[in-house]
Amino acid sequence: MTYDGAAALARHAQTLRQTARRAAPGLPALFWLTDPDRTPDLLAGALALPPGSGVILRHFGRPDLRAAASPLAAIARARALVLLIAADPVLAATSGAHGVHWPNRMLARARRWRARRPDWTVTASAHSAREIARAEGLADAVFLSPIFPSASPSATRPLGPLRAGRIAQDAPMPVLALGGVNTRTVRRLQGLGFSGIGAVGALA
């Protein structure tokens, strides 16, 4: 996506935040989540994001993607981005990232690091109201997914915007929408309680 396209998606995300019941101070309304197959050029992708956006590096154990953490952190500092490292607090600390994104299944580990690094920005994944409840007190916000049909190989049946919106409105913490979110589908999220969005392919 071009910078202009990313900026348009960021504007939609900010509009969602303005009508959300809850929003975490300092947390971007727009996050780009990397993927080994769908977002191959990590540095170019980060450079195309508007200032104030967020990046979540998901390296899945690949050494080449782990090596991108420090260059991404440098871009984040230069462009006022928020960089989180998925499931790898050690890499977050050594690369100079702003915090960690935790899969819901790893929240027990998140508890230990929350106490160790209270200054970090922390997000978590969630696929239901129950998983959001598990993240309360451990994360600043959660990504609820999938909202729409997604190209992710791990995506399950989409929640749909109305059901997902009810979950977001009842949640005890800020909820960002993830899964099939792009400049077309994001319009269907207006007024449903989301405090922002995450995107993968739409920001590739």
46-72 confidence digits (pLDDT tens): 999 999 999 999 999 999 999 999 999
**In the predicted structure, residue 158 carries a pLDDT above the cut 70:** yes
The correct answer on CATH 3.20.20.70 for the domain covering 3-203 is yes
Binned at pLDDT 50, 70 and 90, residue 22 comes out as confident
Task: Please write down the HEC assignment for all residues of the chain.
Answer: CCHHHHHHHHHHHHHHHHHCCCCCCCCCCEEEECCCCCCCCHHHHHHCCCCCCEEEECCCCCHHHHCCHHHHHHHHHHHCCEEEEECCHHHHHHHCCCEEEECHHHHHHHHHHHHHCCCCEEEEEECCHHHHHHHCCCCCEEEECCCCCCCCCCCCCCCCHHHHHHHHHHCCCCEEEECCCCCCHHHHHCCCCCCEEEECHHHC
Binned at pLDDT 50, 70 and 90, residue 5 comes out as confident
In the prediction, which pLDDT does 1 show? 63
In the prediction, which pLDDT does 154 show? 67
In the prediction, which pLDDT does 25 show? 84
Record the pTM.
Answer: 0.95
